[in-house]
Amino acid sequence: MKVKQFLIWGVLLILSLAIVGCSSKETSKEETNNEGKTGEKTAEKVELTMYSWRPEDRDMYEKAIKKFQAKHPEISIDFQPYESTEYNTILSNALVSGDGPDILQLRPYSGAKTIADSNYLLPLDDLKEIGNINQEYLEAAKGSDGKVYGVPLSLNSGVIFYNKEIFDKQGIKVPKTWDEFLAVCEKLKKNNITPIAQSGRAAYLLSMTHAVIGPDAYGHNDFVDKVTSGNTNLKDPNFVETVQRMKDLEKFFPKDFIALEDNDAQTLFYTGQAAMYINGDYRLATIEGTAPDMKIGVIPGFASKDGGEPVVTTWVDGSYAAAKNTKHPEQAKLFMEFLASKDFGQIFTEESNRLSAVNGVTPKHPIVKEIAAAAAKNSTPYLMLVHFGEGEPTTKTTFENALQGMYLGKLTVDGVVDEAQKNAERAAKK
């Protein structure tokens, strides 16, 4: 009996000592290991971990990785997707501790900049295939030092999906300008169809809609240039006009839309209760997956005047970067090259029905093709995301939450603009 108790005590004591003792020893060993390995270059098998915030793309990546391994059988890639909402938390922790993945997906623009500026990434300016990607797209993955840190994955567009059957039945022509769009909405409403399946519980969907219906009111890229060069600000009457438009659209949204989730909005659209649905073009795959029989069309954007060309709101979605403290920088760069290659671009566009950021990749899906063609002619950046993604909180977040406030009667149109502008000024100061 007594021996047994003593054993228990002994084990406990040793355990507690072990926890304290071992750990410090192992840390130092690990550090020296790290340094030694960086220079090594062998054909031995390596495994790279890759973080992403798109669990739904798993199949696509698995196909792509197979293709990559055909050339580089010694490199295996462990694709680890996380929920988009938790991704930042997980990535921050992993990076701060130096325990991050070898390859990581960067949020575009200011998201990428923050991480690049904290010195966690390998510069990719000298990457072989980087020339395949439009200079303009690379802006989404640059640090403050102007170096490229990521390989952009896709070019997203904000579009208006519409139900072709409803449009045909109501004898509606696809609207080309804002005024025509309003007329269409009026008509649908009169016939008891919710014109736009908007949801507002997730505030970012409000700024998405704003990005799609706003640009022609503030004058597209001219305004973007002026705002970024400091010649005007968000209080510009043209910008206020865009917020006014959001307000005017309220009556065309579903009842209580602030309480609706994106899922609910999609359901309204699938079931024909609503005629249009505004979101990124990446929702195409979701819609076709859920309602394969539905006939949908796309309004890529509005033209400023009758007979003009539509202007598409575009932005670069995530890009992939190689972590600075990866143990296998050579191999990680090989994979980066693959991501920037046409091979990957083609797989990406075919599997996920989205626009690849790689030049010369042609989409097959007719709707994707249509958007691509329109975007190639005229495009304007997603203003809030591309140029107002800075500050704590970001101006984009402030803006979309303020829009929510406006629909709930807490803010006026000018109030929304005020909040956004104030935050932008504060962010600029830092």
Partner 1 sequence: MPELKTVPLAEVSAKPKKKPFNVRKHLAHLFLLPAAILYGTFQLFPLITAVINSFYSWDGFSRDTFIGLQNFVTLFTESPFKETFVNAFKHNWTFFFVNVCTELVTAYILALIIHSRIRGKEFFKTIFFLPKLLSVIVIGFLFSLILNPTSGALNLFLKSVGLDFLAQPWLGSTDTALLTIILINGWAGVGFSMLIFLASLQSIDKEIFEAAKIDGASNFKIIFTITIPMTMNAIMTMTILTFIGCFETFELIYAMQGSSGGPYYSTDVLGTYFYRLAFGSVEGGQSIGLGSAIAVVLFLIIALSTAILMIYFKRKDFER
Partner 2 sequence: MGTKWPVQTLKYMILAFMTIIISYPILLMINSSFKSKLEIMISPFNLPKSFSLENYRIVWEKVNFSGYIWNSIIVSAVSVFVVIFVSSLAAYYLSRYSFKWNPFVLFFFMIGLMLPMKLAIIPLYLIMRNFHLLNTHFSLIAVYVAGGIPFAVFLFYGFFRTLPKDLEQSARLDGCNDFQVYYKIMLPIMKPPIAIVGIVNLVNVWNDFFYPLIFIKSDELRTIPLGMLTLFGEYDTEWNLLFAGLTISSLPLLIAFIFASRMFIEGLTSGALK
**Which residues lie near partner 1 (CB under 8 A)?**
2-3, 5-6, 9, 12-13, 15-16, 19-20, 84-85, 88-89, 92, 95-96, 107, 109-111, 114-115, 117-120, 200-204, 254-261, 264, 385, 389-394, 396-398, 401-402, 404-405, 408, 410-411, 419, 422-423, 426
State how far the Cα of 228 lies from the Cα of 246, in Å rounded to an integer.
23
Nearest in space to 105 (alpha carbons), one of 148, 157, 158, 54 = 54
By CB under 8 A, is residue 264 in contact with partner 2? Answer: no
> With CB cut-offs between 5 and 8 Å by kind, which of partner 2, partner 1, none does residue 306 bind?
none
Q: Of these, 14, 30, 330, 410, which contacts partner 2 (CB under 8 A)?
A: 30
State how far the Cα of 350 lies from the Cα of 25, in Å rounded to an integer.
50
Helices marked H in 219-316: 220-229, 237-249, 262-270, 283-290
- Per CB under 8 A, the segment of 52-60, 183-191, 207-215, 350-358 that binds partner 2 is 52-60
Q: Which two tokens stand for residue 242?
A: 């865009």
CB-based contacts of 8, cutoff 8 Å, min separation 6: none
Say how many Å lie between the first and final Cα of the chain, rounded: 68
What is the length of the chain? 430
Greatest Cα pair distance in the chain: 95
By CB under 8 A, is residue 3 in contact with partner 2? Answer: no
State how far the Cα of 238 lies from the Cα of 228, in Å rounded to an integer.
15
By CB under 8 A, is residue 325 in contact with partner 2? Answer: no
- Per CB under 8 A, the segment of 55-63, 353-361, 366-374, 384-392 that binds partner 2 is 55-63
State how far the Cα of 371 lies from the Cα of 19, in Å rounded to an integer.
58
Nearer to partner 2, 56 or 117 (CB): 56
By CB under 8 A, is residue 241 in contact with partner 2? Answer: no
Nearer to partner 2, 31 or 168 (CB): 31
Nearer to partner 2, 1 or 43 (CB): 1
Nearer to partner 2, 69 or 286 (CB): 286
Q: Of these, 209, 266, 314, 356, which contacts partner 2 (CB under 8 A)?
A: 266
> With CB cut-offs between 5 and 8 Å by kind, which of partner 2, partner 1, none does residue 33 bind?
none
Nearer to partner 2, 136 or 264 (CB): 264
Q: Which two tokens stand for residue 116?
A: 């690049």
Nearer to partner 2, 5 or 144 (CB): 5
> With CB cut-offs between 5 and 8 Å by kind, which of partner 1, partner 2, none does residue 49 bind?
partner 2
Least distance CB 213 / partner 1 (angstroms): 21
Q: Which two tokens stand for residue 39?
A: 């220079």
For residue 377, give the 3-state DSSP assignment.
helix
Question: x/- contact string, 347-386, with partner 2 (CB under 8 A)?
Answer: ----------------------------------------
Q: Of these, 33, 88, 231, 290, which contacts partner 2 (CB under 8 A)?
A: 290
Q: Token match 């390596």: residue?
A: 46
By CB under 8 A, is residue 231 in contact with partner 2? Answer: no
State how far the Cα of 53 lies from the Cα of 255, in Å rounded to an integer.
32
> With CB cut-offs between 5 and 8 Å by kind, which of partner 1, partner 2, none does residue 83 bind?
partner 2
How are beta strands 154-163 and 75-81 bridged, if at all? unpaired
State how far the Cα of 308 lies from the Cα of 303, in Å rounded to an integer.
5
Least distance CB 113 / partner 1 (angstroms): 8
By CB under 8 A, is residue 96 in contact with partner 2? Answer: yes
CB-based contacts of 343, cutoff 8 Å, min separation 6: 67
158 touches 144 (CB < 8 A): no
By CB under 8 A, is residue 26 in contact with partner 2? Answer: yes
Nearer to partner 2, 323 or 384 (CB): 323
State how far the Cα of 11 lies from the Cα of 410, in Å rounded to an integer.
63
CB 113: neighbour CB atoms within 10 A? 21
How many positions of this chain bind partner 2 (CB under 8 A)? 33
Cis amide leading into 393 (omega within 30): yes
Q: Of these, 63, 67, 72, 92, which contacts partner 2 (CB under 8 A)?
A: 92
How are beta strands 296-299 and 154-163 bridged, if at all? antiparallel
Interface with partner 2 (CB under 8 A): 2, 5, 8-9, 19, 23-24, 26-27, 30, 49, 55-56, 58, 80-84, 86, 89-90, 92-93, 96-99, 263, 266-267, 286, 290
